[in-house]
Structure formats: C-alpha cells, structure tokens
Amino acid sequence: GAPAADKQAKVLKVGSSIDFPPFEFQDETQKEYQGFDMDLIRAIGKEMGREVEIQNLGFDGLIPALQGKSIDVAISGMTINDERKANVLFSDPYYQSGLTMVVRQDEEAIKKFSDLKGKKVAVQIGTTSAAEVKKLEGVTVTELNTPADCFMELKAKGVDAVVNDRPVNDYFITKNAAQGVKVLDEKLTAEDYGIAINKDNAELQKEINAAFKKLKENGEYDKIFAKWFGE
C-alpha cells in the first residue's frame, strides 16, 4: 500500500486512565505521560517496531474502547480477572498488586477491613476496589472518577476510608506529601496486572507477550521497575 497507510498500520493505539501514579500520571512539567506502565508499553512498542500513541480515557471506559476498537490495548494498572476475561484478552501478568486501605491519620476506629461495617468508603469507579468493597457487609460505597478524588473526599471527611491499589496508596502517602492520612497494612486481595487486548486479536496478544518476554530477559523490565519502585 501507500507509505502513509503502512505507517498508520504500525501505530499501536493504547488507552490508559492517566490518574494512577506511579503507573500512569501527568507531570505538570512534562508533556508526555509518565509512569511504570507508560515506560513499559513504550518499550514493548519499540520491541515490536510500532509507534505508540497513548490516549487518556476514564478507567471504566477502557474495556468499552477495546471492544469498540478505538484502541488496540489498554495498560492501566488493570487487574486480570475472570469477569474481564469474558470481554478482553490479557497479556502475561506484569506486576503483582493488591488492595489496601487509607484512613485519616487520627482514625481510631478503623484498623482492619472488618472495621468498615457502618462506615463510608470511597473507591474509583469500575475498579476491583469498587467490586470488592461492595461485597463487604454494611459499607456505604461512594464511587468517584479518580483515586485523587477519593483521597480528597477522605480529607474533606466525606468518607472514612479509601480502598485502592497498594502501590498507588504507598506512592500517594510517601511521594505526594499526603498529610493527615495513613495507609493500613492489611491486604484485602492479591491481584496481578495485565495488558488488556481486544478479544479477537490473539495475534496481538502473542506479539505483546513475546515483546514482554524479551524485555524480561534483556534486563529492560528490571530497569523500568527499578526506576519507579527502586528495587
């Protein structure tokens, strides 16, 4: 075909909900999206010889965008689970995560998840946190657009706790000068992140896994991991 069409075909259209530091976020001083997922998908694209184009979408809009084929893949700290597997394919797992809880510094009544009975909890809409907290008995759940909105609501005392992914909670507490809040140790779940791919595109899933495997073998994955998690 025409050169322009060839170049077009090479673009890997990526969706992400850019609200999840250190996985995906926008740093005021930089134009490009930052984070572990951003570096990983750019490295995967490079390995595949494809240009990567990242679109910022709401987290609950990512799977619909994959189904509608406006994006090829979604990388967004997305937990691999059976419910989602009914609608999308996942790459091999690339990060081990899980859910923890953030409360105000002076909180005395909430020390573990079972203390949430009768309490108000904020979660990001469409996430595993939302699904898991809804399973807890006697909890009033407030679903907000982003984790940042949830933390604001906690500080404003509109809720008593925020349930969210552990690495994001830890980053928020340590890097974001989050005063007046603390993260609790107990883990509600263990979860693995995967790159989501359109259900009909098993070929792309294979290519992504092959590129990912290469990055694990050549040390590139470890470098990206060390950059964001310092290990």
Which residue type is seen at 124? Q
The conformational region for residue 216 under phi > 0 = left, psi -120 to 50 = alpha, else beta, is alpha
Min. distance of Cβ 83 from ligand ARG in angstroms?
10
Chain-centroid distance of CA 168 in Å reads: 9
The closest alpha carbon to 148, from 190, 113, 178, 128, belongs to 178
Structure tokens, 67: 């189904």
State the nearest-atom distance from the C-beta of 48 to ligand ARG, in Å: 22
Would you count residue 91 as binding ligand ARG (CB under 6 A)?
A: no
Q: Which stretch binds ligand ARG (CB under 6 A): 72-80, 150-158, 181-189, 197-205?
A: 72-80
- Phi, psi (rounded to 5 degrees) for 123: -140, 160
Q: Which of residues 14, 24, 36, 90 is near ligand ARG by CB under 6 A?
A: 24
59, 94, 95, 212: which one binds ligand ARG (CB under 6 A): 59
> Rounded to an integer, what distance in angstroms lies between the CA atom of residue 46 and that of residue 44?
5
Residue 19 binds ligand ARG, judged by CB under 6 A: yes
Could you tell me which residues are beta bridge partners of residue 163? 101
Cβ 176 to ligand ARG shortest distance, Å: 15
Contact 124, 20 (CB under 8 A): no
Q: What is the DSSP string of 148-208?
A: HHHHHHHHTTS-SEEEEEHHHHHHHHHHTT-TTEEE-S--SEEEEE--EEETT-HHHHHHH
Span 27-46, contacts to ligand ARG by CB under 6 A: none
Closer residue to ligand ARG, CB minimum distance, 60 or 107:
60
| Interface positions, 158-217, toward ligand ARG (CB under 6 A) | 165, 191
Q: Cβ–Cβ contacts within 10 Å for residue 44, how many?
A: 28
Binding region for ligand ARG (CB under 6 A) out of 73-81, 179-187, 203-211, 221-229: 73-81
Q: Give whichever of 78 and 103 is closer to ligand ARG, judged by the CB atom.
A: 78
- Per-residue interface string for the shown chain with ligand ARG, residues 122-151, x marking contact by CB under 6 A: --x--xx-----------------------
Please choose, out of 45-53, 74-82, 169-177, 210-218, the segment that lies near ligand ARG by the rule CB under 6 A: 74-82
If binding is defined by CB under 6 A, does position 79 make contact with ligand ARG?
A: yes
Residues forming the site for ligand ARG (CB under 6 A): 17, 19-20, 24, 59, 76-79, 124, 127-128, 165, 191
